[in-house]
Amino acid sequence: MARPEMHTPVGQNGVAMTDLLSRPRPSSGQPSSGAEPTARPLTVSAALAGSGAAGATLVTCMAVAVLGWFLADAGAHGNTTDALRVGADAWLVGHGSHITVAGLPLGIIPLALTMVFAVAAFRAGRWAGMTSQPIDDDLSLAIGATISTGIYVMITVIVCTLATQGGAAPNLGRATLGALLISGIAGTLGMAVGTGRLGPWADQVPTSVRACAQSAASGLLILLACSAVLVAVSLALGINDAATVMSGLHLTGGDAFMYTLVMVLVAPNAVLLGAAYLLGPGFAVGTGTIVSPTAVSVGVVPAFPLLAALPGNGPTPWWTLPLMGLPAIAVAIGVVLVQRRHPVTEWDLGAIRGAGAGFAAGVGTTVLVALAAGSMGTGRMADIGAPLGEVFVTAAGGMCFGGLVGGLAMTWWQRRALHRQG
């Protein structure tokens, strides 16, 4: 049976349809009515990214503040500018600015808000890199990152200046430093990802250093997960006390919503203080207080439902002492997980990787715990946080030991597997 003859569809002007489909699109530099728009230079996209990341988060904070104002009393007290100023102050506090309200210093940084700002800066930087003209050098990326960070910081300075008044005075220096770190680190990292420059940077780092950093990050994340479970379980056990505190405040629906939002924003702070608890030194919730696996002395605490997770005063139960071994175990697990992907058969290299990962995780833990500290006034609540010197010593020592054990154990296992194969 003869094969049927295939005919190519032809348009009205006699042009084959396959020719139309296979024609290349005009390049971005060729003027044509059907051409795609020319990509922006990275400098322009970086400026848009910096202003967009700062403006979007600022507007969101102001909108939430206005919503809470209306939910609280339907706008019966104060005016819209007061609510907008509160939102601006919250935005500045999220960047690390301490603020003085009616003479009372407030120094707790709501780290959940800071994390949102960092994610926004990262995504804006990545968008700028992906939608701009391709670059093939680090200088162009540095210029774009400088422009984005500079605009972000400039907006922060303007907002801090306008938000300063007699009743509330944010700290300009700390707000500027926070904006510089958030936009400079998260924004630049996002821009490096969007432009594709992060890959060449990572390729220049030795494999052992990358494995050590990955092990440290994994161990730190496992420790924070353990701390989050500890805080959640403690809060669940004290849920009745938390409900009693909430009912005793006699809050309206809008007030309760904003109160709950504040607790969510400082939840990462509680998790980091929980990590200090697992390390052994514990933390303080007021001058002269201590919450640790070996001793608890807190006294009277403010009516804040999240504080219902604190243990009772007096001797601690026996099972709290083994919790101090979790940081070392967390780093050991992180080292084992990473070394499975990057095998090591030399004893010295395995020991160096594991111990280095533990030390790096200890340093990272200390820095994060420091961010969770602050003050809530000038009296007894002026001291909230962990003793950083003790946290560093226990974190660096214990986690370094855990990483060393994990590295040597995994090296022994991989040497054994290699011997069996041989």
Residue 418: partners with Cβ closer than 8 Å, 6 or more residues away: 345
Q: Pick the last residue of a domain from 144, 178, 204.
A: 204
pLDDT the model gives residue 142: 94
Residue 161 lies in a domain: yes
* Site of tokens 């084992």: 336
Whether 213 and 199 map to the same domain: the answer is no
Whether 300 and 394 map to the same domain: the answer is yes
Whether 152 and 231 map to the same domain: the answer is no
- Per-residue pLDDT band for 259 (boundaries 50, 70, 90) equals confident
Residue 268 lies in a domain: yes
Instruction: Look up residue 42 and give its amino acid.
Output: L
Residue 327 lies in a domain: yes
Q: Pick the last residue of a domain from 180, 204, 228.
A: 204
Quote the number of domains for the chain: 2
Domain containing 399 equals: 207-421
Segment among 98-107, 112-121, 193-202 with least mean pLDDT: 98-107
239 vs 232: CA distance, rounded Å: 10
Residue 25 lies in a domain: no
% of the chain exceeding 90 in pLDDT: 58
Residue 360 lies in a domain: yes
Whether 318 and 170 map to the same domain: the answer is no
- Per-residue pLDDT band for 76 (boundaries 50, 70, 90) equals low
Whether 387 and 261 map to the same domain: the answer is yes
pLDDT the model gives residue 192: 95
Whether 142 and 196 map to the same domain: the answer is yes
Whether 177 and 125 map to the same domain: the answer is yes
pLDDT in tens, 92-107: 999 999 888 877 788 8
- Per-residue pLDDT band for 163 (boundaries 50, 70, 90) equals confident
Residue 252 lies in a domain: yes
| Maximum pairwise Cα distance, the chain | 99
Whether 188 and 116 map to the same domain: the answer is yes
Rg of the chain over all Cα atoms, to the nearest angstrom: 28
pLDDT in tens, 324-338: 999 999 999 999 999
Whether 318 and 335 map to the same domain: the answer is yes
Q: Pick the last residue of a domain from 173, 204, 235.
A: 204
- Residue 329, number of CB atoms within 10 A of its CB: 18
Distance of CA 241 to the CA centre of its chain: 30
pTM: 0.86
Whether 279 and 156 map to the same domain: the answer is no
Whether 255 and 218 map to the same domain: the answer is yes
pLDDT the model gives residue 291: 93
pLDDT in tens, 385-395: 999 999 999 99
Mean pLDDT of the chain: 86
Whether 248 and 335 map to the same domain: the answer is yes
pLDDT the model gives residue 78: 65
**Distances 342 to 31, 206, 214, 400, 411 between C-alpha atoms, Å:** 51, 12, 11, 19, 11
Segment among 37-41, 59-63, 205-209 with least mean pLDDT: 37-41
- Per-residue pLDDT band for 1 (boundaries 50, 70, 90) equals very low
pLDDT the model gives residue 218: 96
pLDDT the model gives residue 4: 41
Residue 103 lies in a domain: yes
pLDDT the model gives residue 32: 41
Cα–Cα nearest to 140, from 196, 181, 182:
196
